[in-house]
Amino acid sequence: MAVAIITGASRGFGRALAEALAGRGWDLVLDARSAGPLEEAAAALRRHGGAVTALAGDVADGGHRRELVAAARELGGLDLLVNNAGVLGSVPLAPLGTYSLDDFRAALEVNVVAPLGLVQEALPLLRAAPAGTVVCLSSDAAAEAYGTWGGYGATKAALDQLSAVLAVEEPGLRVWAVDPGGMRTGMLAAAEPDEDLSGVPRPEDVVPAFLLLFDRRPASGRYAAPSLLESASGPVLQDARGEVR
């Protein structure tokens, strides 16, 4: 059975993706810092019949990252690593002129250093898998200059570049950085406390874009979920630069 590690799977997008993969028969290794919500999510996911290992911890902790990969090894290997856990940095969002450098460093640890650490830990298993895949959750704030989104956006831009270079260095893997578009989650609510988010897609509305990637396995690159969903009925995929794959 295929095995995936999904970080940050107790709620939001990570949880929705875990639900979809569990429904497709995947075995899962999941984490989040708060044990209670993570265990609740894992219990619900186990109803699909697959193995679900839930390890509470912080992705910024190297020992925890080793535990995640060891758990995948125990399940038989690792086919898919989803670097989903992410933080906003300063909340409320702040302009760069007054941005807390401590908040920025902390966001870099979670959004950039931790995904690279997990990739390094997981590479031997991913290379041995028949179709080893890394997915990193990006954001349009990585590419667009939105006021007060600079700290978070810079971490996601760094993650995009790590993903792009990893793809070059590991041609045997698929490495996709994916901008999911806005999703109605706790993170977006914290970033936009005064906005009415009722019209924003739910994470489960965005998951089919990721399933398309898994099914079609286009070239490594950066993709945006809204265009993936638009292309769903077509025979080709375009990456975020508009290149046809």
Ligand X SMILES: NC(=O)c1ccc[n+]([C@@H]2O[C@H](COP(=O)([O-])OP(=O)(O)OC[C@H]3O[C@@H](n4cnc5c(N)ncnc54)[C@H](OP(=O)(O)O)[C@@H]3O)[C@@H](O)[C@H]2O)c1
Q: Pick the piece of the chain touching ligand X (CB under 6 A) from 8-16, 65-73, 124-132, 214-222.
A: 8-16
Could you check whether the bond before residue 193 is cis, i.e. omega within 30 degrees of 0? no
Q: How far apart are CA 11 and CA 111, in angstroms?
A: 17
Binding mask 174-213 for ligand X (x = CB under 6 A): ------x-xx-xxxx--------------x----------
Q: Decide if residue 58 touches ligand X (CB under 6 A).
A: yes
Residue linked to tokens 């005064």: 194
Q: Decide if residue 7 touches ligand X (CB under 6 A).
A: yes
**C-beta closer to ligand X: residue 76 or 208:** 208
Question: What order of strands is seen across the sheet that includes strand 174-179?
Answer: 52-56, 27-32, 3-6, 80-83, 133-137, 174-179, 221-224
Cβ atoms of 46 and 16 within 8 Å: the answer is no
Residue count, binding to ligand X (CB under 6 A)? 30
Closest separation between CB of residue 183 and ligand X, Å? 4
Closest separation between CB of residue 120 and ligand X, Å? 17
Q: Decide if residue 93 touches ligand X (CB under 6 A).
A: no
Closest separation between CB of residue 221 and ligand X, Å? 17
Dihedral over Cα of 92, 97, 102, 105: its sign: positive
Q: How far apart are CA 135 and CA 142, in angstroms?
A: 16
User: Among residue numbers 109 through 148, which ones bind ligand X (CB under 6 A)?
Assistant: 110, 137, 139
Q: Decide if residue 34 touches ligand X (CB under 6 A).
A: yes
**C-beta closer to ligand X: residue 14 or 117:** 14
Torsion of CA 113, 118, 119, 121, to 10 degrees: 120
Binding site for ligand X (CB under 6 A): 7-14, 31-34, 58-60, 84-87, 110, 137, 139, 180, 182-183, 185-188, 203
